[in-house]
A = this chain, B = another copy of it.
Amino acid sequence: MNIRSEAIETGAHACVSCRNCALKPLCLPGHLPAPEARALESAVERGRQLAPGMALVRAGTTMDALLVVRSGSAKRFSLTLEGTEQVHGFVLPGEAVGLEGFATGRYGCEVNALEPLSYCRVPMHKLEQLLERLPGLRREMLRLLGQALEEALRLRGELAETDARGRVARFLADLSERFARRGFPPYDFRLSMSRADIARHLGLTLETVSRAFGTFKRDGWLRVRARDISVLRPDALAALAGVPNCA
């Protein structure tokens, strides 16, 4: 991925301006009335930049802050008993991370940076203080969790229903849409994750994922050069993915 949410990187722990953030409409403050947004903003800290492969959260560690990715992308996964990775999904800028930690106070998954990654954090004690006096934020937190739950249910349902090419098509259509919402070209992007990561996410083998890319390429739906993807026939992909079609 070639995403950077703002041009200029300020110092490590500088206070962040949500007001000017390109991600504002996707992030928490975008759904809050102005006074609440300001109050929230004062509690937001910026996390240090992470190099690819580094952990943003580790499963089992105390959930001490609400985290939102600011630039770059990440992989959410759990380690199985056999030591393999169970890939839950991929995180793009403006998306929160580790929400399942509310269940126990400890994060339930690993989240690793796939590219240089920066993020924002709201310490839990500050969040609790804010929740006491900001009704909009209370609603927003419930909305955020509800949305994460809805997405997890949707993804699970799709796994149970769709065949290999359908899953890959849907994966690409979904990525495409998320890029679009962030203002990036939806039909021309670079995958930050490996074929193996995609395969583990979709419950397939990396060979099958590769073959799906192959057929889409052969049929003229996609241009594939390693991790650089151009979507030539979004309609065909969406149809195969079984998306209600936004035409």
Q: Is A142 an interface residue (CB 8 A)?
A: yes
Chain A interface, DSSP helix/strand/loop, else mixed: helix
Of A3-11, A67-75, A145-153, A214-222, the one touching chain B:
A145-153
- Chain B residues whose C-beta falls within 8 Å of the C-beta of A157 in the assembled complex: 78, 86, 88
Q: Is A81 an interface residue (CB 8 A)?
A: yes
Interface residues in A148-164 by Cβ distance below 8 A to B read: 148-150, 152-153, 155-157, 159-161
Q: Tell me if B102 and A203 are in contact (CB < 8 A).
A: no
For residue A99, which residues in chain B have a CB less than 8 angstroms away from its CB? 146, 149
**A146 with B100: CB separation less than 8 A:** yes
Chain B residues closer than 8 Å to A146, beta-carbon distance: 99-104, 145
User: In the complex, which residues of chain B have a beta carbon less than 8 angstroms from the beta carbon of A46?
Assistant: none
Residues of B within 8 A of A195 (CB): none
A186 at the interface (CB under 8 A from B): no
Chain B neighbourhood of A147, CB < 8 A: 102-103
A contact residues, total (Cβ < 8 Å): 42
Measured CA separation A104–B139 after assembly (Å): 11
The reply to whether B150 and A100 contact each other, CB–CB distance below 8 Å, is yes
A191-206 vs B, CB cutoff 8 Å, 1 = contact: the mask equals 0000000001111000
Q: Confirm or deny: A166 has a beta carbon within 8 angstroms of a beta carbon on chain B.
A: no
Q: Measuring CB to CB, which residues of chain A are less than 8 angstroms from any residue of chain B?
A: 78, 80-81, 86, 88, 99-104, 108-109, 128, 131-132, 135, 138-139, 141-143, 145-150, 152-153, 155-157, 159-161, 200-203, 242, 244
**Please, could you name 14 A-B residue pairs with CB atoms under 8 Å apart, sorted by A?**
A78-B157, A81-B244, A100-B146, A102-B142, A102-B146, A102-B149, A103-B149, A109-B153, A128-B135, A128-B139, A142-B142, A145-B146, A159-B160, A160-B202
With A78-B153, A100-B146, A103-B147 known, 7 other A-B pairs at CB within 8 A are: A80-B242, A88-B156, A108-B150, A132-B135, A132-B138, A149-B149, A160-B203
